[in-house]
Amino acid sequence: MTLRIDGVSVALGGRTVVDAVDLEVADGQVVGLVGPNGSGKSTVLRCVYRALRPDSGGIRVDGTDLATVSVAHSARIIAALTQDNRSELDFTVAEMVALGRSPHRPRGALTDEDRRICREAMEAMDVAGLAERGVLGLSGGERQRVLVARALAQRPQLLVLDEPTNHLDLRHQLGLLKLLRRTGLAVLTVLHDLNLAAGACDVVAVLSGGRIVATGTPAEVLTPGLIREVFGVEATVVAHPDTGVPQLLYSLTP
Ligand SMILES: Nc1ncnc2c1ncn2[C@@H]1O[C@H](COP(=O)(O)OP(=O)(O)OP(=O)(O)O)[C@@H](O)[C@H]1O
């Protein structure tokens, strides 16, 4: 699936927080949205997973205006991991992941195929061993992995992820980002760690003050000048010795 965000603007609390954003995610592409706190990243994502309606501009999936697609259909094709994902209900992990199948089985019971898909998603996120645990008793990282498993169990065409590596230890951060590349899905993900973004994303888009200020490959975008201008931080950019991917070094010396 191809996602096109065309001139999307959003005002919240009387202020424009997303300003004429254009962004495209091609089929099989991982696109990282980065930028300082409050730059509008989550707001862009909320428009894509339809928690918010843009004030102007439009969003197209495979050329069709998302606003004209039924909510039931978009729930089948778009899976979202949001930042605001605390559950009040003590589902088991297996039940929580099975919720990912509900857009495909609105009333029916799970089929053997659904159970197989859920098991695969739990194994991919290393939570199969937690299947009978209640989600309220999980650690932050365990819960985050369960929620990614639920999104994978949805078998969407587009994955929209808001800081998916939040709370994850290093092994699980790297595992998740490698998995995203393997899914072959269109992926739009907010990431704060620019080094992870550089390694995991085909394209990085930088938001600053609600506007896209750079879009391109990690090597094109993640330059010392841009990091200084957007984040107010001095960074040295080196090429990873094995992959050539740009990696940022920071000095903590006062
Ligand atoms: N409901 C709201 N009412 C008023 N302002 C809002 C509302 N929701 C978000 N904002 C503001 O919109 C701006 C963009 O918020 P958003 O959550 O999209 O930023 P972000 O780039 O995802 O930030 P972070 O990196 O901190 O998660 C922020 O200044 C935020 O305070």
Q: Report residue 202 CA to chain centroid gap.
A: 14
Residues 47 and 18: beta-carbon distance below 8 Å: yes
* Residue 94 alpha carbon to ligand 1 centre in Å: 32
* Residue 126 alpha carbon to ligand 1 centre in Å: 32
pLDDT for res 254: 77
Q: In the CATH hierarchy, which fold is given to the domain comprising 3-249?
A: Rossmann fold (3.40.50)
pLDDT for res 253: 83
Around Cβ 179, how many Cβ atoms within 10 Å? 15
Q: Which residues pair with 56 in a beta bridge?
A: 9
The CB of 41 under 6 Å from ligand 1? The reply is: yes
Domains of the chain by residue range = 3-249
Residue of minimum CA distance from atom 18 in ligand 1: 40
Tell me how many degrees the CA angle 51-22-217 measures, rounded to the nearest 5: 110
For residue 63, give the H/E element and its range.
Answer: none
pLDDT for res 88: 72
pLDDT for res 113: 95
Q: How far apart are CA 189 and CA 213, in angstroms?
A: 17
Q: How far apart are CA 247 and CA 236, in angstroms?
A: 8
Which of ligand 1's atoms lies nearest the C-alpha of 163?
27
Residue of minimum CA distance from atom 2 in ligand 1: 12
pLDDT for res 210: 98
Report the residue count for the chain.
254
* Residue 58 alpha carbon to ligand 1 centre in Å: 20
pLDDT for res 234: 96
Is 203 in a helix, a strand, or coil?
A: strand
**How much is the pTM?**
0.96
Query: Among 9, 12, 21, which is best to mutate for testing ligand 1, by the most ligand atoms less than 8 A from CB?
Result: 12
Which residue type is seen at 10? V
pLDDT for res 102: 92
Around Cβ 207, how many Cβ atoms within 10 Å? 25
The CB of 39 under 6 Å from ligand 1? The reply is: yes
* Residue 109 alpha carbon to ligand 1 centre in Å: 38
pLDDT for res 18: 98
Q: How far apart are CA 157 and CA 54, in angstroms?
A: 22
pLDDT by residue for the chain (254 residues), tens only, comes to 999 999 999 999 999 999 999 999 999 999 999 999 999 999 999 999 999 999 999 999 999 999 999 999 999 999 999 987 677 788 999 999 999 999 998 777 889 999 999 999 999 999 999 999 999 999 999 999 999 999 999 999 999 999 999 999 999 999 999 999 889 999 999 999 999 999 999 999 999 999 999 999 999 999 999 999 999 999 999 999 999 999 999 988 87
The CB of 17 under 6 Å from ligand 1? The reply is: yes
pLDDT for res 107: 76
Which of ligand 1's atoms lies nearest the C-alpha of 18?
14
